[in-house]
Structure 1
Amino acid sequence: MDMVSKSLNLAEAEAFRMFTRLQMPISLPGYGLKTGVRGLLSSVALGFVLAAGLVSAGLPVAAKSTAFSQSLAIAAADDEEVAAWYRDTAYDTLWTGPEDAARRQALIAALETAGDHGLPVARYDLAGIRAALASARTEGDLGRLEVKMTRAWLDWARDVSSGALDPAKIDSTIVREITRPDSYALLRAIATRDPATVARRLLPDSDAYVQLMKTRFDLEELSASGGWGPQVPAGALEPGATGERVVILRDRLIAMGWLSPTPTAVYDRMVQNAVMNFQRAHGLPADGVAGGDTLAEINKEPEDRMKSVLVAMERERWMDIDRAGRMIWVNLTDFSAEIIDDGRVTFRTRSVIGREEMDRRTPEFSDMMDHMVVNPSWGVPRSIIVGEYLPLLRSNPNAVSHMQIVDRNGRVVPRGSVNFAGYTARSFPFGMRQPPGDNNALGKVKFMFPNKHNIYLHDTPAKSLFAHDKRAYSHGCIRLADPFDFAHALFRNQAPEIESEFNQTLKGGRETPVKLEKKVPIHLVYFTAYPQGHGVMGYRRDVYGRDAKLWSALSAEGVVARTVSQ
C-alpha cells in the first residue's frame, strides 16, 4: 500500500501565520501599537478554514484491522479516558482515516498557532505529528499516530480554554476554581461537529483576551524591528531640562506613541504632557517628572511587556466567568475596585491591599457578595491576636485597650480575670473584638462575600494611605477610598433612596447588616497588563512577584516571548 502523507510546508505555515494577523491599522496612543479589528480571534478561527485548503494529507485507509486496533490500544493504555473513547467507538478513527481530513487540518492549524496564544508548543509535539504523518508505513504506525494526535488535541483544547498551568502549584495565594473540559466531551465534539467551529469556540471570548493577543502580535513585531530605541540613562529629568538625555527620552516616547514627532531638545510642555499620560497609564503619580519609577517603566523593552501580556493571557484563560450583568472587579496591581455593569465601569475607587509579606498578601479568588454591614465591629483574626496582640498583653494586660476580650460564645470577658502571661499562642482560648466607632479598623461599613480567606472590602480611618501610588498596607483585606459611594452604587438598584437610608443607619451607630437582594459576583484579580480602553494597554508593577513566578513556570514549559524573526 502506497502510504504518502503531506504536512504543512514552511510557506504554508507562514501563510496561515500571516492570515491570523489580518488587521485594519488605526494608530492609537500607547507603545506605538495599532489596534486591529475587534474580531481578531475570529480571524484566527477563519485561519482553520484557510489551513484546510493548504493541508491535504494523503493518508492510507486505516482499516480497523487487528494490527491497527492493537497498536492503538497499546498506545492509549496509560490514558483510560482515551482508551475508553476508542473502545466505545469500535476503534473508529478521528484523524488518520480518509474521511478525517478536515479534523487533521483543524488540529494542525490549531497547533501551528499555539505559540501565538502563549501556549507550550512542545507539549503538543507538532513536529512529531508531522514526522509521523510523513513516515507512516503500517497500520500499526497509524494506530500510534491516531493516539498521538488525540492527545495533542486534548492537551491543546484544555490549555487554550482553561490555561496551561495549575495556578495552585505555582502560588498558594492564587485560588482559581478551574474547570477543565471533559476529555470524552472534547472527543465527541470534534468527532461530530465542524472541527474549525469546535476549535474556535474553545478560545477565550473576552474582549480583554482579544486585545491582549493583538498587543502580543504588535509587541513581537516591535521587538523584531528594534524596539523603542536606546534606554534613557538613570537620573531624574524635570520640565525645563535640556541635553542628550532629554532627546533620548523624547525619541523613546515618540517611538512608544506617547508623543508626536517633534525636534525639541527641551523638556517642554509637550514632553511633560506625554510623560504624564504615560504615568497615568502605568499607575504612577502623574507629576510630569521622569523620576526613578517612571524611567524604570519607560525603559522596559517590548520583550518585558510581552511577558506581562502572555501571563495576562494565561490568567484570562483561568477566568471562566460570565461577564454579562453586574460584577465587582478588584485588580490588586492597580490598587482599585470597580463596579462593572454589562462590561461598562459604572463606579471606580482607589483601594489598599495586603502588605507584601507572604502571610499578608491578598489572595486572588472569586466569590459572591451578599451583604454589607453598617457600623461594623471587628472580629480580630486569630493570626493577628496571637501574632501581634498577645505578646503585648503578656507584658501589659491593659495594652490595646480599644479591644474587647471575648469568649468563644462572643461574651465580653473582664481583662482582670485573664492571666495573659499564662497562655501561649496555641493555648490562648479567647477572641478579640473592636466595637463599632469612629476609630474602628473597618471604618463605618464593610462589604461581605463570606470566604475561607476571611477577606472583605471595608472602610478605614487611615485615609492618608490613599495618597500613595503603591498601596500595599493592610493585613489582607481590601480598604476602599470611597466606601459610602461604593455602597450607594451597589445598592441603588434595590433601594433608590439608599443615600438617605444609609446616612440614617450610620447615625444610629448600631451594627446593622443590609442584605443584597441579588448576590453580586466579585473577582479579586492580579493583572499587570490589561486593556484600559481607547486602544491603550495598561501595565502595572508586579507587587507580589506573582507574575515572575508564573512567567518562570510558563518558560519551564517552553513558552517564549518570541519575536517574528524567531
Structure 2
Amino acid sequence: MKLRAVGLGLCLLVFSLGAAPGPAQAGALQQALEAQLRAGVGAAATDDEIETLTVLERFYQARSLEPLWVQENGAGPKARQLSVLLAAADLDALDPADYGAEDIAALLDNTAVTALAELEVRLTQGLIRFAADLGQGRTTPHVADPELFVFREEVLREDVLGAAAGAQDLQAFLQRYRPNTPRYDRQKVALAEYRALATQGGWQPIPEGPTLKPGMTDPRVGLLRARLRLWGDLKPENDLAEAGGDPDVYDEAMVEAVKWMQYRHGLTQDGAVGKKSLAALNVPIETRIEQMVLNLERRRWMPDDLGRRHIFVNLADQLLKLVEGEKTLLDMPVVVGKPYHSTPVFSHQMTYLVMNPYWNVPPSIARKELLPKIKQDVNYLASNNFTLFSDWSSGASVVDPVTVNWAAVNRNSFPYKLRQGSGDGNALGRLKFMLPNRFNIYLHDTPAKALFGKDERTFSHGCIRVSDPPGLAEAVLAKSGDWSLERIKQTIASGERRIVTLDQPLPVHISYLTSWVNKDGSVHFRKDVYGRDAKLAEALLGARAGGWR
C-alpha cells in the first residue's frame, strides 16, 4: 500500500463526526464510540485504513452510534463469535494479525466503556478486512506481479457492514465471501494436514547418492519408504515391509508408489529416484506450506464460475484441460513461454480457429532470430517457405530476397514483413486457436513434437503450443456444426487455409498454480518456473515470507 500524509483525511473524519449526537443525546458507550472513531484505532496511516475509518464513520452515524457487537455491560455473543472467526483466519491461509485478532481477544473481558468502544471499532475493522480478503484476495494481482492480468471482483466495505448488521450467524455470513469451489476447499484441507505434519517435525532430507532403482538394496530406500508412507503415496496394505520384507529393498510396491509421487510433482513417471525426484522429495515442508498459502490467494482472485464449458491452462504445470461442468473432457501437455518470454496470466474467449494457417513472423523474432540466418544464407527464406514483403502495410509488395543487400540490413533497419506459408514446417503447425487479445497470445500446433515429452516445457515465445491439435479442435468445435475428427483431418490434409468460427465463444483461462489438490485428494506441487511465487510471497507476506505459515 502507498503511504501518504493522513492529516487531511483524519481532519475530514473529525469534521464529519462533529454532527454526531452530543452528550445530552447519547449514552456513555456512544460517546466513547464517537471519541474512538474520531481518534482512529491504530493510527491510520494508509489509504486503505483511512477509507475503512471513513466507511465506519458513515455506518455508525447512520445507526446513531448504536454498537453492533457490545453493550453497556460488556461484549455480546456476536462479538465473541467474530473474535473466534478472526483468530481462525489462518485456516484460509490468512494471518489473524491482519485483523487485530490478538488485540480483540485481549479486550473481550474488559468492561470499561473506553475498552468496549475500542473493541467495537476493532471488531468492525477486522470484519471488513477479513471479508474483503476472503472475497477478492489480500493482494492486487497486477501490483503483486505486472504479468498478472487478473481482474478480481471488488468487495465493497459498505456492503459488508450493511449485510453484517442483519446477520444472525457470522460464520455463515463470512462463508458467502469465500470462494465457493471444491478446489479452494480441498486446498484448505491439505494445508491443515501439512501444518499438522509440520508440528510433528515434518521430514528430513534423503541423502544424495546414486539413482535409486527397482531391485536395489540401500539404506536410503528405507528412508524413501518412510517418506512415501508419510505422504500417502505408499499405502500400508501395499507396503511389503509390513509383511516382513526388507525395508531397504526397492520392491515392486515401491516402484508404483514412486511413480505416483512423480505424477504429483509433474515428473516423468519412471519409478526411479534420480536428481529431479530427489529434489522434489527434499523440498522442506515449510516451503510446501508456503506454496499452498500462495495458491489459496490465487484461488481467491478467480471467479467461482469459470464458465460451464471452458479451457483451463496451468502455466506452471504446462497442461491444458477442456472442462464441461465438473467433468474434464480432455487434457494434454502444452509448451509455454520461456522464462524470458513468459506467458502472461489472463482470461479471454476463443472465437475461431484456423486450419493450415500461415505465420506472420513477429518483428522481434524476425530481427533477432531469423535475420542472422538470412544473412548467412539468402536461400534460408525459400527453403523454409517464407515470403518476404516490403513492409507491414496492406499494400506491401513481395520482394525477391536475392535483390536485397543483406549486408546493409541490421536489427535497427529491418522494414520487411516475413510470412511463412502453411505446411508441416510452419511454426504454427496445422492449427491455430484464436482468442484475440492485446498480448497476441494464442494456442497452436507445432512441428516440434519432441518437446512435449519433457518434464519442463517452457520453450515458446509466449504462445501456447498444444500436443493434440486435432483432438482439441474436435472438442472445441463439438457445438459448432458437423466437425468430426475425420473431417478436421481431411481439411488439414487438403492444405486449404480455412477459418472456422465457433458458434459460441469459449472461455479460456490462462493461470499459474504451483499447488492444488485433485478430486481424488492427491496433493500436487510444481516448480515455480517463472519465479511468480517469490513475487507473490513478497506482496502477500512481506517480511513474513518464509516465516509465517
The TM-score range, normalised by the shorter chain, is 0.7 to 0.9
**Helix, strand or coil for the counterpart of 2:82?**
helix
Distance 1:161 1:240, change over 3 A: same
- 2:468 matched to which residue of 1? 482
Are the equivalent residues in 1 in contact too, given 2:313–2:319 (CA < 8 A)?
yes
Distance 2:538 2:263 in 1: 28
- 1:231 matched to which residue of 2? 206
**Helix, strand or coil for the counterpart of 1:334?**
coil
- CA offset at residue 307 of structure 1? 1.6
Distance 1:289 1:92, change over 3 A: same
- CA offset at residue 230 of structure 1? 5.5
Are the equivalent residues in 2 in contact too, given 1:385–1:432 (CA < 8 A)?
yes
- 1:297 matched to which residue of 2? 280
* 1:373 pairs with one of 332, 346, 354: 354
**Helix, strand or coil for the counterpart of 2:339?**
coil
| Structure 2 residue 399 is the aligned partner of structure 1 residue 414 | yes
Distance 2:30 2:343 in 1: 58
Q: After the TM superposition, which of the residue ranges 255-264 and 152-161 deviates more from structure 2? A: 255-264
- 2:160 matched to which residue of 1? 186
- 1:361 matched to which residue of 2? 342
- 1:272 matched to which residue of 2? 255
- CA offset at residue 534 of structure 1? 1.7
* 1:167 pairs with one of 133, 141, 156: 141
Are the equivalent residues in 2 in contact too, given 1:103–1:190 (CA < 8 A)?
no
Are the equivalent residues in 1 in contact too, given 2:110–2:116 (CA < 8 A)?
no
Unaligned regions of 5+ residues in structure 2, if any? 1-25, 45-49
- The residue correspondences of 1:81-100 to structure 2 (distance < 5 A) are 81-97=55-71
RMSD between aligned alpha carbons?
Answer: 2.8
Distance 1:413 1:89, change over 3 A: farther
- CA offset at residue 361 of structure 1? 0.9
Distance 2:453 2:30 in 1: 74
* 2:514 pairs with one of 519, 525, 528: 528
Distance 1:545 1:560, change over 3 A: closer
| Structure 2 residue 495 is the aligned partner of structure 1 residue 509 | yes
Q: After the TM superposition, which of the residue ranges 118-127 and 308-317 deviates more from structure 2? A: 118-127
**Helix, strand or coil for the counterpart of 1:405?**
strand
Distance 1:245 1:441 in 2: 46
Distance 1:549 1:537 in 2: 23
- 1:317 matched to which residue of 2? 300
Distance 1:89 1:481, change over 3 A: same
- CA offset at residue 109 of structure 1? 2.5
* 2:269 pairs with one of 279, 283, 286: 286
Distance 1:527 1:250 in 2: 28
- The residue correspondences of 1:415-564 to structure 2 (distance < 5 A) are 415=400, 425=411, 428-556=414-542, 558=544
Distance 1:230 1:462 in 2: 37
Question: What is the identity, as a one-letter code, of the residue corresponding to 1:364?
Answer: V
Distance 1:279 1:433 in 2: 42
Task: Return the TM-score normalized by structure 2.
Answer: 0.83
- 1:48 matched to which residue of 2? none
- 1:49 matched to which residue of 2? none
Q: After the TM superposition, which of the residue ranges 472-481 and 261-270 deviates more from structure 2? A: 261-270
- CA offset at residue 248 of structure 1? 1.7
- 1:15 matched to which residue of 2? none
Q: After the TM superposition, which of the residue ranges 401-410 and 536-545 deviates more from structure 2? A: 401-410
**Helix, strand or coil for the counterpart of 2:333?**
strand
Distance 2:413 2:166 in 1: 62
**Helix, strand or coil for the counterpart of 1:520?**
strand
Distance 1:190 1:423 in 2: 68
Distance 2:71 2:363 in 1: 63
Question: What is the identity, as a one-letter code, of the residue corresponding to 2:128?
Answer: L
Distance 1:86 1:274, change over 3 A: same
Task: Return the TM-score normalized by structure 1.
Answer: 0.81
- The residue correspondences of 1:40-119 to structure 2 (distance < 5 A) are 65=30, 68-75=33-40, 78-79=50-51, 80-97=54-71, 101=76, 103-119=78-94
* 1:211 pairs with one of 175, 182, 186: 186
Are the equivalent residues in 2 in contact too, given 1:354–1:475 (CA < 8 A)?
yes
- CA offset at residue 421 of structure 1? 6.0
- CA offset at residue 129 of structure 1? 2.5
- CA offset at residue 70 of structure 1? 4.7
Distance 1:221 1:65 in 2: 44
Aligned residues: 500
Are the equivalent residues in 2 in contact too, given 1:62–1:93 (CA < 8 A)?
no
- CA offset at residue 156 of structure 1? 1.0
Distance 2:404 2:119 in 1: 73
- 1:18 matched to which residue of 2? none
Asked which structure has the greater RCO (Cα within 8 Å, sep 6+), the reply is: 1
What fraction of aligned residue pairs are identical, expressed as a percent?
Answer: 33
Q: After the TM superposition, which of the residue ranges 455-464 and 178-187 deviates more from structure 2? A: 178-187
* 2:313 pairs with one of 318, 330, 333: 330
Distance 1:67 1:299 in 2: 56
- CA offset at residue 499 of structure 1? 2.2
**Helix, strand or coil for the counterpart of 1:409?**
coil
Are the equivalent residues in 2 in contact too, given 1:380–1:433 (CA < 8 A)?
yes
Distance 2:81 2:268 in 1: 48
**Helix, strand or coil for the counterpart of 1:404?**
strand
Question: What is the identity, as a one-letter code, of the residue corresponding to 2:263?
Answer: R
| Structure 2 residue 177 is the aligned partner of structure 1 residue 177 | no
Are the equivalent residues in 2 in contact too, given 1:351–1:478 (CA < 8 A)?
yes
The one-character-per-residue Cα deviations of 1:244-275 (angstroms, maximum 9, x if unpaired) are 12222222222222223414221122222221
* 1:307 pairs with one of 287, 290, 293: 290
Are the equivalent residues in 2 in contact too, given 1:379–1:433 (CA < 8 A)?
yes
